[in-house]
Chain A
Amino acid sequence: MNWNQLKTILWLRWRLSRNQFTRGGALNAVLKTLGLIGGIMLVVAAGIGGVAAGAFGLPQAPPNITIMIWDVMIGIFLFAWLIGVLVEIQRSEAIDLARLLHLPVSLQGVFVMNYLAAHVTFSLMLFLPATLGICLGLLCSKGLVMILLVPLVFSFIFMITAWTYCLRGWLVTMMVNPRKRRNVIVIATLVVVLLGQAPNLYINVFMRHRPKAHQTTNNNSTPAQPAGNREMLPPGYVAAHKYVPFLWLPKGATALMAGDAWPAVWGSLGAFLLGAAGLARAYQTTLRFYRGQTEATPGKPQVIAATSASAGAPRKNYLEKKVPFVTEEVAGLFLAFTRSLSRAPEIKMALVTNVIVIVVVGGMVFSNTKNAPGPTISLFIATTAIAGTFFGLIQVLFNQFGYDREGFRALVLLPAARRDVLFAKNLSFAPLVGILGLVLLALITILFHLSPLVLIACCLQLVAMFLLISIATNFFSILTPYRIASGSMKAAKPPAKVILMIILTQVLFPVLALPIFIPPTLGFVSEKLGWLSAPIVDVLLSLLLLALAATLYRLSLGSLGRFLEKREKDILLIVSHEAE
């Protein structure tokens, strides 16, 4: 690739982001400019902070603290970096091979170009000035030997970027098939979320069961005898710094400060070699992908197809099922919606996220409570669990049509009444909400021995809240739909209005959950005043609430249906690709 082509590609990249910027509207531009200014300030702050830490902070810290500081820094960087990689995968406008290789450019050229471009991420922009700042600071405070830290930092970054680039290439080859593509994105996102939650989970769930004595001795000894601290680190921790490549940077840096240059030298060399190997591998993956050598074994699908074709009579499919109590239109819509939901990876992800959030929050709350809660308190805990059922589904529920994408056009073309469309949409989420709610309720029942009355009250509340929240979600789905990039949970290039709306719905959620807290609250009051026992009041009021919610829901359907009919063409422009 020659210099002119390189310049053209740089220009292309700049142009792509500029077009996106200028097309976004005024509010978007303002927000993005603010973000940019904030980002620059952060980068400068990182650099200055690094220098200060290197010059004054780090030299005073004992070695095991230094090594931990480095570890934390690297941990944060790696996490942010991985998220950046995922975002990059999801972005469709990245310059990929498929859009360039029909032009007269070489594969190597495009490869190198793309690899370099992958460095332009926010995480690296923060990490590099911070670490280089530290190097500079240490250079001032600890002397010239610290210059060896600079190659160590660069080879560390080289190693990380080369291997993530390799990983990315591998993911991309997996994603050629659209269905696989969505699964890959979802699973990868999930892994990162889980990794991010891991320390939290670890601390909240496991650490609490450890005896406290261990931690206190550790704390006391730290300031007292800094020299003997190396022994205080667990042996596994020390070994890890020897054998895990991305921990060579902390080890090298700490050893350098103690006057030992060899770990830094070996670390630099090792990381560089590993990085080179990673890059070579990445290139090979690219090459194989380009030559189409990644295809899975063909032939198998054909065999299946042949047998099913020879079977003759068409099999009954899911969409032919009868649904009791509802009209034919609602039945058809319900089956199509549930079928789509059951196959959509983003829905599975919403469910799993929900469970993770509940486990983490629940773990945090319950590990803090010393004694088992009294029976009145368990009323509130159960109701909170009911409210929590909806938490992970908010995004999907408040943008019901966004996930239909092109399918929404089919809905617009249908002769069905729009209230039926809304009703079927809500109904299609009922199994999801039901299963999730009942699982949670079962857990809570086991943990807190809920009485059957409370259990009944909770089931009533679950339905009532579902009906109430459906009114709100129908309204907002019609008012502010936004397009979801296929296979992700993210809004595709959302305008500022939509971002505000997403935030608003998150804020609105507790308000929507308020009504179901009325029955347990009044039950609590009634018991305090010596009238009726709390669970009985809870059940009765929940029943009343359900009746009220059902009436409201019924009344809302007609007018919301008309609202949908009025807005459906605008919604279509947004959720399908046409608005761009």
Chain B
Amino acid sequence: MSFAIETKGLTRRFGNVCAVDTLDLQVERGRFYGFLGPNGAGKSTTIKMLTGLLAPTSGTMTILGENVNDPAKAREVKRHIGVVPENLALFDNLTAREYLTFIGRMYLLPLPTVRERCQELLTMMNLENEEKKLTMEYSHGMKKKLALAAALIPNPELLFLDEPFEGVDAVASRVLRDILKRVVDRGATVFLTSHVLEIVEKLCTDVGVIAKGKLVYQGSMQEVRASGTLEETFIKAVGGEDHAPQKLSWLES
């Protein structure tokens, strides 16, 4: 069985902080993987390393069967992945259509295809009426939707999405969920982080929980359901029970 994503001893330090600590991750192809964890756990850092935005301190990463520690291989792999990074990756001075055209061309899609997909994605994300605006004038949610469209346009085999639902309106969120389901049905792999456990529970086939840079839980959604709800599993995995709100008694006064 070949993995879509496999890491061995993946580590990243920022000064004294160990953001990701010897992470051994395995995600099979064709899975919908939810990567969960509290704030500052190291989710975004992991995604950045896997997508080539951040160099790991140590450890190996294999993506779609290629060792991406090698820059030449990493660039080859980039042809087959789509990414929505934590802080997005938009050009300030381009309009949405220009940006999507640019991305499409860089993935060597033929121009008619680019145009067609561009139009469909803009319509789906409800951005087609914002022609005149540069991306720097977009709202937070609009930027995110544009970044999602850019990640989808090459129809990649593997999608990395860092909090794709955060800041996105209910309609677009619904559209996005449908798109992602179809992407996985086709055989592609999706790796996403999110804090909205309801969505993860509905969509994902597998979950991993990271806390303080270490993987503390990994299992399929069936396994999770067998032992209760995802929320319970999550809280148990990150040791969140001791933060019960019996303190802050002044809130009631």
Q: Which 9 A-B pairs have the closest CB atoms?
A: A332-B105, A409-B89, A407-B91, A410-B89, A319-B101, A415-B78, A340-B93, A343-B93, A415-B79
Is there an interface contact between B128 and A413, defined as CB atoms closer than 8 Å?
no
Interface centre among A309, A340, A413 (most CB of B within 10 A): A413
A317 and B136 CA atoms in complex are apart in Å by 19
B98/A409 in contact, CB under 8 A: no
Given that A328-B108, A331-B105 are known contacts, is A314 also in contact with B115, CB under 8 Å in the complex?
A: yes
A492 to chain B, nearest CB (A): 15
Can you offer 25 A-B residue contacts whose CB atoms are under 8 A? A179-B137, A304-B132, A305-B129, A305-B131, A305-B132, A308-B129, A329-B106, A332-B106, A336-B91, A336-B94, A336-B98, A336-B99, A344-B93, A406-B88, A406-B90, A406-B92, A407-B89, A407-B91, A410-B103, A413-B78, A413-B85, A415-B76, A417-B75, A565-B71, A569-B54
Interface size class on chain B is 35 or more
| A528 contacts partner chain B, Cβ-Cβ < 8 Å | no
Contacts A318-B98, A409-B85 hold; do A333 and B106 have CB atoms under 8 A apart?
Answer: yes
A386-B91 Cα distance, complex, nearest whole Å: 32
Interface residues of B (CB under 8 A from A): 51-55, 71, 75-76, 78-79, 83, 85, 87-95, 97-99, 101-103, 105-108, 111, 114-115, 118-119, 128-132, 134, 136-137, 150
Assembly CA distance A179 to B95 (angstroms): 13
Q: Tell me the smallest distance from the CB of B92 to a CB of chain A, in Å.
A: 6
Q: Which residues of B contact A146 (CB under 8 A)?
A: none
- Could you list 10 further interchain pairs (A-B, Cβ under 8 angstroms) beyond the known A415-B75, A486-B92? A306-B129, A319-B101, A320-B101, A331-B105, A343-B93, A407-B91, A415-B106, A569-B54, A572-B53, A577-B87
Closest A residue to B80 using CB positions: A415
Task: Name the distance in Å between B162's Cβ and chain A's nearest Cβ.
Answer: 12
CB distance from A185 to the nearest CB of B (A): 14
B53 touches A413 (CB 8 A): yes
Residue ranges of A at the interface with B (Cβ–Cβ < 8 Å): 177-179, 301, 304-306, 308-309, 314, 317-320, 328-329, 331-333, 335-336, 339-340, 343-344, 404-407, 409-410, 412-418, 486, 565-566, 569-570, 572-573, 576-578
Contact B111 A407 (CB under 8 A): no
Bound-complex Cα distance A410 to B146 (A): 13
Nearest A residue to B102, CB-CB: A336
Instruction: Say yes or no: A410 contacts B91, CB within 8 Å.
Output: yes
- Residues from chain A with a CB closer than 8 A to the CB of B102 are 319, 332, 335-336
CA of A415 to CA of B75, assembled, Å: 5
Chain A residue contacts of B129, Cβ below 8 A: 305-306, 308-309
